[in-house]
Each structure stands twice: as C-alpha cells, then as structure tokens.
Structure 1
C-alpha cells in the first residue's frame, strides 16, 4: 500500500497551507479488490461539501482543515482525519481498514481529532468544531462549543 504519491502529498500540503482555498481531501480505493488508495477529490466547501463525496459502499479517508472562531478577535485552525466506512462496505474491506488506516496516518499525520464515521450524520460541522476545540486545550469560548 503506497499512498505517499506526489499527487496525495501535494493535496495534503495544500490542505495544510494557510493560503490555499482547499480545505479537504478524500482518498478512495482504486477498485473494490484493490488496496491502492488514490486521491478522489479535494474541495473548498468544508465538511458539507466533503459529505457529498462519501459513498455508502466504500471505505474512504478524508483530511479536513477546520477553522473556527476562538474568541471575538482570533480564529484557530485544526485538522481532522475521517475514517469513513459506509454502511454497505464489503466485509473484507471493513476488516482491512484497521491496518490500512495506520498506513494512511503515516502520511496524513498531523491532525487533532480522528472521526470514525459510517453515517453522514456523524459528520456535523458544529460537532467537529466542538471536538477540535476540546482537543485544542484552552477554551476561550466559555464552554459554549
């Protein structure tokens, strides 16, 4: 499983860049029987945009830049890794995700929260922001999420 391809590394660098409008990337398996991950999509529309690309019959990996107001004068940026296993994903693919996600984490390695999701309802922007805020330590928002 080789996912440190130039295309994936460039997309990862773009998501991490403060100047890039892209704020998410998605990796998918090349075919149902393949263990090769490819860059499926990138986007600028945040979590809601990403969710339109998640498939119910696949395991996929997403990396998201999450920006939120820290207080009235500052914003914070955190990163989330999403391990998606759609509800109709084949059993053998599900079984491999544990090992293969470790390989993904070697490349998409800088993130504050990991979200294991199997339903698009698991990916609500407000909930992800709360998780990122908690992972960030100091809460300058008085616990209001």
Structure 2
C-alpha cells in the first residue's frame, strides 16, 4: 500500500507528493509576495504585521505577542519593526503595565497602506489560488490544512468553515 503508516521512511510516491506540495506552496507564496510588493509597496512581513495590528484592539499588540501570532523569532520581528518604524508604518512604545515590554502600534499611514494593499492582495489570492480550484477542491484543501494544523498542535489556530 502506497500510504502505509508502518514504514519508517516515505515511499517514492509519498516523497513525490511531498515535493509537489512544497514546491507548489512556495510558488504560490512567491507569486503572491511579488504581486503584493509590486502593487502596494508592502512586503509579506509588513502585511503580516499590519494585518495583526489592524485586527487588534486600538491597533496595538505587545511585541512578544505579535511575534507569537505571526510565528517569528523576537529578534527577526524587532529588526523588521525597526524598518517599518523608519517608514512610519508603526510606532513602538514601552508597555504601560510592564518594565520590559514594548507595545507595537499601527500608525494611520500604516493602516491606510495596509487597507490600500489589501484590495489588490486579496484579488491576487483569488486569481492565483481560489480561481484555480473547484468549490469541492477548496473544501479538500481546508480539510487537509485542518488535519495538518491539528497534527502540528496548532488546533487553536484552525479556522471554521463558513
């Protein structure tokens, strides 16, 4: 059986499926990132940060929480926030309730750039990903993502079907 779980090493067919998945996911990410950058002057990192801040109460999140939300190391986030701060997309201030914490706040220009960039970005997501799949295939992709996220212990981050 091709998908037998008792093998210690993946079969050639399983490795081909894995490689096809990884290469396709990377191609999707590369195309979406390129379109986002070209159409909005936002990097995918900028977009991730501004998305989280746009959804946060008062557009503010503690930097350690932001790092966890977007899955980045704190040092990577700190460097990226420094670049965003120079472009006046965000501000960093000491937390009012902690000695060592930093709050990250989306600025009005940052939120405006995020909103303006979201329209072409979501259009690209539809054109590059959603339009390529039937409604049934989209549900299959969602089912696979749910299973993988649960397997990786990301249950709390699994979305719900609408």
Structures share a fold, TM > 0.5?
no
TM-score, with structure 2 as normaliser: 0.28
Higher strand share: 1
**Structure ID, larger Rg:** 2
TM-score, with structure 1 as normaliser: 0.30
